[in-house]
Structure 1
Amino acid sequence: MITTFYMPTRIVAGAGALATVGMLARELKMTRVLVVSDPVISAQPFHADALAALAEAGMAVARFDECGIDARCSHIDAQGERVRREGIDGVVCIGGGSVMCTGKGTAIVATNHKPMRDCTGVGRFDRRALPMIMVPTTAGSGSEVSQWTIVKDEERHLKLLGGGPLSFPDAAILDAVTLRSLPMHVAALPAVDALTHGVEAYVSAIGSALTDAVALEAVRLQYRSLRASINSDDERARQDNLVASCMANVACGNARLGHGHALSLPMEGHLDLPHPIGVGVLLPQVIAFNLAVLPDKVRPLAEALEVDPAGLTRDETIAACAANIRALYADIGFPDRFTPDQVPPGRVREMAERAVPGLYAGIAAATFDHTTVGDRTVIACPSARKMTVRQAQTMLETCLA
């Protein structure tokens, strides 16, 4: 099998890295930049420091600080038009995954002159996005090194993914100073999302030795440092989490994401389930489902999750992996079940059916008729083990409180 590994984003990491934002903007030939953020982040001292560094480097700065929980097509389309109208030639994102996806979508729409919904799917635009610098303020999505943009189409209640090699960010700045203001209960959500990225990349059918190595180290580093990062004022652990989340997306950007993301997507769009809750609750089930057909990968993943496989059968080792994930959740205050309010039992079958197009279907998901599928219909997903609608339904039911 032929595999590829592509990561063009420059990564600048460590204490004080945020101060390089102006220099990076200048190197990317930016002169007028749109700084994308949200109302909470834009009030933080490090945000002001970044703006000052951009100004000192000679940048004219415009701002959009109204990002919400999800990146929204309406915001992206409006800002894309604004960028063209005001002659802006670069985008700097300071925020979590929704902020970075909003900025990335804006950079795509600005150069391709069409709405974001028409850019969803794989490679459905022809022009390189505007130059982008990403400054993540959560150790989670890894969007700072991702070609993919996840957006919400408010009109049709859909979560859509779009991207391709023309939308990789040019630079990512990983500086733990941006995590200091993040409340502990909030920090757990993106951290678990990052953990799912590493695991799903590792159990992908299109992975390689390169992606496996990066994914495993991301999982190991994340699992080792996550408790201290969230439950204490440990700057080193926070920096490790930033780097681990970035690595996890480097891995899944090449090996792709799996069942957790495919099954979570319709619940996010139709039930407004928060993305980290969807993929995180599913993660222990995803591990068990896929490792069952990957005997050679059980021990390495177990060791990354601090499971000692000595004296354990393969099935016992797999169960211990899932148990360690749940123990981690308990320690950081993350749920391991969906509540009936989040996922009504009566809609589980529908969600399993709506997952069939998979994560990478883009706008095609809007016209998909979920009522035409049956128990044996296979969900479009690059994971090592194929999953039918009936298996997906069972997995979702297992995750209900």
Structure 2
Amino acid sequence: MSLKNYEFSLPTSIFFGEGISKETGKKARELGATKVLLVADKGVIGAGLTAPVEESLKREGIPYTVYDQIVPNPRDYHCEEGYRLAKKEGVDCLVAVGGGSSMDTAKVIGTLLTHGKAVQDWCGFQLLEREVTPLIAIPTTAGTGSEVTPFAVVTDTKTHVKLNIFDPKAAAKTALVDPTVLLRLPSHIMAATGVDAMTHAVESYTCKLANPHTEAYSLYAIDLISKNLRKAVAHPDLESCTGMMLGSTIAGIAFGYSDVGAVHCIAEALGGRYDTPHGVACAVGLPAVTEFNIPADPEKHAELAKALGVNISGMSSEAAAMAGVEELRKLCKDVGIPKLRDIRGVNPKDFPSIAEAAEKNVSTPSNPREVSAKDFLFLINKIYNED
């Protein structure tokens, strides 16, 4: 076996289990917290998912302030607003409860607390000068994996482009991962975030920056998600929700320390233009982009099919790879993923500019197959016209 040199490190301590969010106050105390900013959207707060976190902070005698201006595809001005509140309140620890939007917003707030300037000044690859304010991340969906990634994705509201802080110094210090929170998750959110997690697993496995450590995580995540997503959407129980939450976190490690590819490039361009929820934007493009990438490495895509549960015995690599694509299409259909053409606001007249935005994405060079704006335009039109 011949390998390129690579580095693998994980700056986040992961605590997984039922009711683990009740340990928030203790973990915050261990991080030296004297004042916490609790970052969560109004829906998560209204559903009672922050209650055990708040009770835990109170038990430890740690005062906290709530910031709830969280929206899908976090805005730069909300991050700046949260930063101003945190600075005013003398916050020295952040707790994010929710999906990727809450966790990414908290990462950006932490970046501004420790670095100042504007959001845009820190978007790029490893630009941070020091670690951000300590963050405890508590996911309430099985999708983004943001609790363990070194990314924070934020929308520049002037350019309508998604920007990325990509730096291990932005990662959460602690992840408290509780599968029981998924039992109350609406089925359409479980579906979209679940396929988002599958996208992380698939793209981290096939991308150019994959390495043996991340590939192992990727394959295990693919196996977990393929076995549990349908059940978690249709009839969630503790077993399926545990499989999904574990799969999501493991996929987060996989892509957080390798990369993604063209599915995410398209999804982030769609999100920047139409404010499409990220999970849906990824899900609509996963099968078509995976098929496009097969020629770059048919053997690896055949292994992907095997991880998806396809019996590839006796098949050529190309045939096995295509069977994997069909399994992804079936999975998306089974959990009710909409078609791109059915998403509100999507207009084919915008596709050339969306393709150009996708080409400029930081992850485009990591896609296993070379992809240009022309290729992105072809893929977006194919996805739009799929039956």
What range is the shorter-chain TM-score in?
over 0.9
TM-score by length of 1: 0.91
> Do the aligned residues in 1 keep the contact of 2:298 with 2:321 (CA within 8 Å)?
no
The aligned residue for residue 20 of structure 2 is: 17
From 388, 391, 394, the equivalent of 2:372 is: 388
The aligned residue for residue 273 of structure 1 is: 276
The aligned residue for residue 154 of structure 2 is: 151
Is 2:203 the partner of 1:200? yes
> Residues 2-401 of structure 1: matches in 2 within 5 Å?
2-339=5-342, 341-359=344-362, 380-401=364-385
Paired residue secondary structure (2:184): coil
Deviation digits for residues 248-287 of structure 1, max 9, x if unmatched? 1101111111111112222211233322222211111222
* Higher deviation after alignment, 35-44 or 154-163: 154-163
| Deviation of 1:244 (Å) | 0.7
Paired residue secondary structure (1:384): coil
* Higher deviation after alignment, 342-351 or 111-120: 342-351
> Do the aligned residues in 1 keep the contact of 2:304 with 2:321 (CA within 8 Å)?
no
Q: Number of aligned pairs?
A: 382
Closer, same or farther in 2 for the Cα pair 1:303/1:178, shift >3 Å?
Answer: same
> Do the aligned residues in 2 keep the contact of 1:203 with 1:291 (CA within 8 Å)?
no
Partners of 1:274 and 1:25 in 2: how far apart?
Answer: 31
Deviation digits for residues 355-399 of structure 1, max 9, x if unmatched? 222135xxxxxxxxxxxxxxxxxxx32122111222222111110
Deviation digits for residues 8-32 of structure 1, max 9, x if unmatched? 1011101121221111111111111
Paired residue secondary structure (1:343): coil
In the alignment, structure 2 segments of 5+ residues that lack a partner are none
The residue type paired with residue 384 of structure 1 is P
Partners of 2:141 and 2:20 in 1: how far apart?
Answer: 15
> Do the aligned residues in 1 keep the contact of 2:299 with 2:317 (CA within 8 Å)?
no
Paired residue secondary structure (1:94): strand
| Deviation of 1:317 (Å) | 1.5
* Higher deviation after alignment, 177-186 or 90-99: 177-186
> Do the aligned residues in 1 keep the contact of 2:283 with 2:332 (CA within 8 Å)?
no
Closer, same or farther in 2 for the Cα pair 1:316/1:343, shift >3 Å?
Answer: farther
Paired residue secondary structure (1:297): helix
* Higher deviation after alignment, 2-11 or 313-322: 313-322
> Do the aligned residues in 2 keep the contact of 1:92 with 1:133 (CA within 8 Å)?
yes
The residue type paired with residue 219 of structure 2 is L
Paired residue secondary structure (2:137): strand
CA RMSD in angstroms comes to 1.6
> Do the aligned residues in 1 keep the contact of 2:271 with 2:278 (CA within 8 Å)?
yes
TM-score by length of 2: 0.95
The aligned residue for residue 373 of structure 1 is: none
Partners of 1:158 and 1:44 in 2: how far apart?
Answer: 31
Partners of 1:51 and 1:87 in 2: how far apart?
Answer: 18
| Deviation of 1:340 (Å) | 7.4
Partners of 1:347 and 1:61 in 2: how far apart?
Answer: 44
The percentage of aligned residue pairs carrying the same residue is 30
> Do the aligned residues in 1 keep the contact of 2:14 with 2:175 (CA within 8 Å)?
yes
The residue type paired with residue 398 of structure 1 is K
Partners of 1:189 and 1:169 in 2: how far apart?
Answer: 24
